[in-house]
Amino acid sequence: MIALSDPPREDSKALITELAGLGVRTIMVTGDAAATAEVVARAIGLDGPVWSTTPLPGKIRAEDYVLYAGVLPEDKYSLVKMLQGSGHIVGMCGDGANDAPALRQAQMGIAVFSATDVAKSAAGIVLTEPGLGGIVASIKEGRATYQRILTYTLRSLVHKVGQVLFLAAGLIITGQAILTPMLMVFMMITGDFLAMASSTDNVRPSATPSVWKIGNLTVVGISMGALDLAFCVSSLAIGKFVLHLDIEGLRTLAVVTLVFSGQAVLYVVRERRHLWNSRPGPWLMASSSIDLALVSLLAYSGIATAPLPATVLGGVFGAAALFALVLDMAKLALFRRFAVA
């Protein structure tokens, strides 16, 4: 008598528990007999209904079974398609040539470290170390990337709404173009460096799967953009009717206001809770500091712009800081109402 044993990895149960905490449901699919498969499933914490015949039923929900045993390679492919048809995002993990069709069909096929070349070619992710810990790392990295893209999208929406209408408001208030082409190029360059730095920012991966809600996101961006527009127009109006600046001084004020408000918007939208709940990344803080210092220096010294007194620059900075707090409160209310984060 010869006894054979192929036990699961010691970290498998903990991995499945962690995936469940991330909102990811784990289903075991194997060609092994049901008796063998059930022992392994229980050992890794998968307890629930078992399907043990082939072919699969015509319609399956993700919560119907935790284990599919005795299945054929084409059943794995069919299962992936049925789950996708139910609206699920499916990640398929496999190691053999018989897993290749399902790996290719899934939104994300994952080939393990010891997988065959065929499985690795069909997969979208190939784990480079033994074990399945790379799956959790991939999920967290993907969600962190999503948060950075969400920040970039929100910032872009707010800026597009605010800046375009601000140019029109500036034309009405002053009777002239409030920004020259050179000033616009300068703002675009400094803004691009800030946007690139935001791609390295510290973010908190979402605890559950994220879904794009473009309509809701647009409404939130427009609403925050309207607040940004109100702040910028108010600053320009004060410069025109209270400080009585000439057109060149108003143009400098417009640049300073747009840059300072842009910084406020970025630090508000980068955080899904209050803006002070997480520390920005070092590259973002460095880029932000250089941007603020450069604009302030040019505005104060009058290089390529009309000079502004330090009191005016300080006033705009202080007003932008207060604006950030107001915008932060509005953001939380909008996020709760439209569930975009």
> Per-domain residue ranges for the chain?
12-131, 144-338
Please give the Cα distance from 182 to 188 (Å, whole number).
10
- Does the structure show a pLDDT above 80 at 23? yes
- Does the structure show a pLDDT above 80 at 5? no
Spatial contact of 335 and 220, defined as CB atoms under 8 Å apart: yes
Element holding 202 (H helix, E strand)? none
Spatial contact of 263 and 290, defined as CB atoms under 8 Å apart: no
Which pLDDT score is estimated for 210? 86
Q: How confident is the model at residue 308 (pLDDT cuts 50, 70, 90)?
A: very high
Which pLDDT score is estimated for 169? 92
Looking at CATH, the fold of the domain delimited by 12-131 is given as: Rossmann fold (3.40.50)
Q: How confident is the model at residue 335 (pLDDT cuts 50, 70, 90)?
A: very high
Which pLDDT score is estimated for 91? 95
Which pLDDT score is estimated for 17? 92
Pseudo-torsion of CA 132, 138, 143, 144, nearest 10°?
120
Q: How confident is the model at residue 53 (pLDDT cuts 50, 70, 90)?
A: confident
Which pLDDT score is estimated for 302? 86
Residue that the structure tokens 């048809």 belong to: 85
> 282 Cβ partners below 8 Å, 6+ apart?
none
Q: How confident is the model at residue 233 (pLDDT cuts 50, 70, 90)?
A: very high
Which pLDDT score is estimated for 103? 96
Q: What is the mean pLDDT of residues 214-236?
A: 94
More confident site: 126 or 209: 126
Domains 12-131 and 144-338 are alike in CATH topology: no
Q: How confident is the model at residue 338 (pLDDT cuts 50, 70, 90)?
A: very high
Q: How confident is the model at residue 160 (pLDDT cuts 50, 70, 90)?
A: confident
- Does the structure show a pLDDT above 90 at 2? no
Residue that the structure tokens 């398609």 belong to: 81
Please give the Cα distance from 64 to 201 (Å, whole number).
40
More confident site: 191 or 25: 25
Q: What is the mean pLDDT of residues 185-206?
A: 86
Rg from Cα positions in the chain:
28
Is CATH 3.30.300.30 what the domain over 144-338 is classified as, yes or no? no
Q: How confident is the model at residue 275 (pLDDT cuts 50, 70, 90)?
A: very high
Q: Are strands 108-111 and 125-126 parallel, antiparallel or unpaired?
A: parallel
Please tell me whether residue 110 adopts helix, strand or coil conformation.
Answer: strand
Among candidates 223, 232, 230, 203, which has minimal Cα distance to 154?
223
What is the tens place of the pLDDT at every residue in 237-249?
999 999 999 999 9
